[in-house]
Amino acid sequence: MYKLVALDMDGTLLTSNKTISPRTKQAIQAAREQGVVVVLASGRPVDGMVRYLDELGMTSDQDYVLSYNASLVQRIASKEVIRKQILTGLDAKNIANLARELGCHVHAFSSEHGLITPADNYYTQHEAKINQISTTVMDFSELADDDEIIKVMLIDEPEVLSAAIAQLPAELYEQYTIVQSAPFFLEIMNPKSNKGTGVAMLAEHLGLDASQVICMGDAGNDSHMLEYAGLGVAMGNATDDVKALANHITASNDEDGVALVIEEFILNK
């Protein structure tokens, strides 16, 4: 029996207009009433998730959230951090220098400064808008080597970012977890940090194993948790590589794909 459901947000839980459908909301509530733990696992910062957690009523200290691709795993009410795997200012500086050489923009999430970028750009503003946070323009050389950096992202027009990705040195993939969450976002994190390790840690914390876990997603940053889960579900709108990893493919995020899975595998409808 499944006891934990981990949901990606953008392209999975949320429709294309960034809302949660009534059917999906009802299915999640019904699963929670049966004692199933439902968590949001997103590349977003917690600030960009709060309004959806509120909408779903997932705000108690028995509720958890996985933010920044599970670089942080926290209790929601107390904000107690139960897992943190992050980067440093030195990492951010090195990655920013590489981004400059590759001709693409970069931004990062700093514990002290919030969302930071060396040069204001469309995609940093997009990040700020969807998460309802502000942006600080600062040269990454101003960061201390030991500053807490949660993650760094290469960001740009899809064709520019694709060209940059093609030139990334192989050793970068040995130093960091690198996942693409959108055609214009490449996320670089602590090598121990990904949604799979985050969900696995939470499952262990709850006394569960992988066979009791459902994970649903649509993009490359969801791949680790789909591989981990007893039931890894790709959305109908997922990328082909994510679909290839999945045990099950559901309808798209605009067709109540999340609700359909919960209804079939948990509510037995």
Report the catalytic residues. Answer: 8
Instruction: Using the structure block, give the residue that is written with the tokens 């019904």.
Output: 30
Closest-CA residue to 87 (of 105, 69, 110): 110
Task: Work out the end-to-end distance of the chain between its first and last CA atoms, rounded to an integer number of angstroms.
Answer: 15
What are 124's two structure tokens? 């940093």
- E strands, 92-197, are 105-110, 114-117, 135-137, 148-155, 177-182, 185-189
DSSP H helices in 65-121? 89-102
Q: Which helix (H) or strand (E) holds 65?
A: strand 64-67
> What gap in Å lies between CA 239 and CA 234, rounded to an integer?
9
Tokens of 231: 């039931």
Please tell me the distance from the alpha carbon of residue 121 to that of residue 184, in angstroms, as a whole number.
12
Q: Are 234 and 246 in contact (CB under 8 A)?
A: yes
Report the C-alpha gap between 66 and 43 in whole angstroms.
Answer: 8
